[in-house]
Amino acid sequence: MRGFVVSAAVVAGVVMLSGCGGGDGGDDAKSGGSSAVADTAACEKAVTEQVKKSMGGDKAARDAEELPASCAGLDEATKEKIAERAAGAAIADALGGDEKESSQEPDAKADVKITACSKDEFGYPVAKLEVVNSTDKTQDMNVQVSFNGADGTRLAEGGTIVTALEPGQKAKEDAMGLKEISGKFTCKVGSVDRWESQ
């Protein structure tokens, strides 16, 4: 069941973005006699919400063919990043709704270490993680990270899903924030949920 949730989110995000106006004469490029201004953050927010609604069974969201004007003109690399983040956010949201308890032994949070904290080329915060499975069973993990300003204010949050991590196995993962931030910031592991892989 979990595999279906993941694939549904990825497919929804990619399919939606494949229809983004990109200079191919789409309706967005023609409206009002001037091209729409691409807005990465606004596009990502709208796509993420639409993917979540689609996964939740909203037929209108699932069947929608039009994207907001803010997506028009974005290059393929940017659209791919937005698709990944939208899918990731939808997956995290869906898994959180499963109401599964995280493993109590050993401490799941202790199995996650931040190895780098920076921004990508689009201004989004990224925490590089090293995740290890210290249990004796194959595990899936949902890692959430907060990106905090110098005064401790949470500026953004993001996360990543690690699947089928074998006992003692390590994985290198990136947890990306879901909005652009400016100034200095720190990356901090928020919550780590872990459950036995099915």
Instruction: Note the pLDDT tens digit of each residue in 11-38.
Output: 455 555 555 444 444 443 333 433 445 5
In a shared domain, residues 57 and 130: no
Predicted confidence at residue 189, as pLDDT, reads 96
Please give the pLDDT value at position 32.
40
Q: Which domain covers residue 45, as residue numbers?
A: 2-96
- Classify residue 130: in a domain, yes or no: yes
Last residue of a domain, one of 96, 120, 142: 96
Residues 82 and 6 in one domain: yes
- How many structural domains does the chain have? 2
For the chain, which residues score pLDDT lower than 50?
Answer: 1-11, 20-36, 97-105
- 101 is a domain residue: no
Q: Which phi and psi angles does 43 have, rounded to 5°? A: -65, -45
Give the model's pLDDT for residue 61: 60
Q: What is the CATH number of the domain that holds 170?
A: 2.60.40.10
Q: What is the pLDDT of residue 7?
A: 44
Q: How many helices (H) and strands (E) does the chain have?
A: 5, 6
Q: Are strands 139-149 and 125-132 parallel, antiparallel or unpaired?
A: unpaired
Q: In what order do the strands lie in the sheet with 154-165?
A: 112-119, 125-132, 170-177, 154-165, 139-149, 185-196
Examine the domain organization and report whether 76 and 134 are in the same domain. no
162 located within any domain: yes
Last residue of a domain, one of 63, 96, 129: 96
Q: Which amino acid type is present at position 58?
A: D
| Three-state secondary structure of 63-101 | HCCCCCHHHCCCCHHHHHHHHHHHHHHHHHHHHHCCCCC
Do 124 and 148 lie in a common domain? yes
Sign of the alpha-carbon dihedral angle for 183, 186, 190, 192: positive
Asked if residue 23 is part of any domain, the answer here is yes
Whether this model's pTM surpasses 0.75: no
184 and 149 within one domain: yes
Is 82 found in the same domain as 167?
Answer: no
Residues 87, 131, single domain; the answer is no
Residue 158 lies in a domain: yes
In a shared domain, residues 8 and 40: yes
Same domain, 115 and 174: yes
155 with 86, same domain? Answer: no
